[in-house]
Amino acid sequence: MIRKTSLGVALAVSLATSTAALAETITIATVNNGDMIRMQGYTDQFTQQTGINVEWVTLEENVLRQRVTTDITTKGGAFDIMTIGMYETPIWGANGWLVPLHKNVNFNTNNLSAAYDVDDLLPAMRGGLSHEGTLYAAPFYGESSMIMYRTDLMAKAGMSMPDAPTWEFIAKAAAAMTDRSNDINGVCLRGKAGWGEGGAFITAMSNSFGARWFDMDWNAQFDTKPWADTLNFFKNMMDASGPKGYATNGFNENLSLFQQGKCGMWIDATVAASFVTNPKDSTVADKVGFALAPDTGLGKRSNWLWAWALAIPAGTQKEKAALQFIEWATSKDYIELVAAKEGWANVPPGARVSLYENDNYKKVPFAQMTLDSILSADPNNSTVEPSPYVGIQFAAIPEFAGIATQVSQEFSAAYAGQQSVEEALGKAQDITNEAMEAAGYR
């Protein structure tokens, strides 16, 4: 009897142990934004389908960047999936820190399955998340930047927004729409220091003025006329028609101003379109129009390209489970799932061609302009003059984030009137050249 009981207990223990072993758990580091939070809400469905449990570590973007960089460079293994962007992916892929998701020629068990339809990914996204033709991260959502403007204020100013305006038109329209007595600013743009805030905006804008960060020998180019033109134009327009204190405004501050009806135009990330047209949060939801980011006629527009993507750090013990999750989260089925539950305006945009071929999605007011903006951005050919780097609002080299943060601080100080544009550009030139020399580029 005792032996039977013992055997039963042993069997139960071994069964419980094996069940526990089967119930794999993956840990995902991610950013706090609407689409990512929405995905967390649907994770139970993935667990039901696969039996894989998911644990989330959600952090603010800059904290996340520091956290995952520390972990991947030390091979810490704290995460099985990391949410990273177009800046990190090619650099980390080249360093061998990420598991290749899809190779051009060979499939192996760790690559994305044929059913995933990797060819459906928007070419700009696929290219920006690859290194030498190998995809290292799957885009969860992608974005460019575009003009969001108040149709009522534009009409009141007696002007009409072209689909592809110039900066000259934007400055004129901004002046015409500005109404200080009613607290309406003609244009709201990012001036906040930080490479991903004001730094990203001014870099993308400078491309349209014919500027570039480096020449082909990695010499800084802030002493050139196109950079002076860019900064002077930005400061003059914002001083005349921008909100007070624009030097400290980033995405959130401008979103807040626009939603409260205090901006005539706002040029920023395409994902903002769903926020400003949402009547729950925006007081101007039914008065918003969209247009391509401006240019100066030199052949380059001032829109950027970005994607938040899911990647697997090399060395994780749960590569297969991680790949299963990525396939699920970035699949066509996931888009259908969100559309069915929350409507087409809330699906993660900018990642798949098929989304923009969907008749239901075509009815979303900002869908076509988002696609046009993404398609007009080319990270491999972002500047008028040739440049040695890949990236539009950044240069995909490890040193860029540190340099651009310092440079954008100098620019913000110029916007705030603490120094002249010439002084800011002079300092930017010295900071960049010194850093590039120390890093061995020059």
How far is residue 438's CA from residue 406's CA, in Å, rounded to a whole number?
15
How far is residue 50's CA from residue 30's CA, in Å, rounded to a whole number?
21
How far is residue 81's CA from residue 137's CA, in Å, rounded to a whole number?
10
- Spatial CB neighbours of 182, under 8 Å, sequence gap ≥ 6: none
| 441 contributes a contact to another protein by CB under 8 A | no
Nearer to another protein, 251 or 400 (CB): 251
| 251 contributes a contact to another protein by CB under 8 A | yes
The residue within the footprint of another protein, chosen from 121, 255, 374, 414 (CB under 8 A), is 255
Cα–Cα distances (Å) from 185 to 74, 162, 293, 300, 352, in that order, read 47, 20, 18, 27, 36
Binding mask 170-209 for another protein (x = CB under 8 A): --------------------------xx------------
| 342 contributes a contact to another protein by CB under 8 A | no
Nearer to another protein, 11 or 63 (CB): 63
Q: For 347, what's the count of Cα atoms within 13 Å in the CB-facing half-sphere?
A: 29
Nearer to another protein, 41 or 162 (CB): 41
CB of 19 to another protein, least distance (A): 21
Nearest to 310 by CA among 7, 74, 4, 54: 54
Nearer to another protein, 161 or 329 (CB): 329
| 56 contributes a contact to another protein by CB under 8 A | yes
How far is residue 70's CA from residue 136's CA, in Å, rounded to a whole number?
19
Query: Is residue 60 within 8 Å of residue 32, measured between CB atoms?
Result: yes
DSSP for residue 193: S
Which window, 9-17, 258-266, 287-295, 404-412, contacts another protein (CB under 8 A)?
258-266
Site for another protein in 57-86 (CB under 8 A): 57-63, 66-67, 70-71, 74-79
| 271 contributes a contact to another protein by CB under 8 A | yes
Site residues (vs another protein, CB under 8 A) = 27, 29, 31-34, 37, 40-41, 55-63, 66-67, 70-71, 74-79, 196-197, 250-252, 255-257, 259-260, 262, 269, 271, 275, 280-281
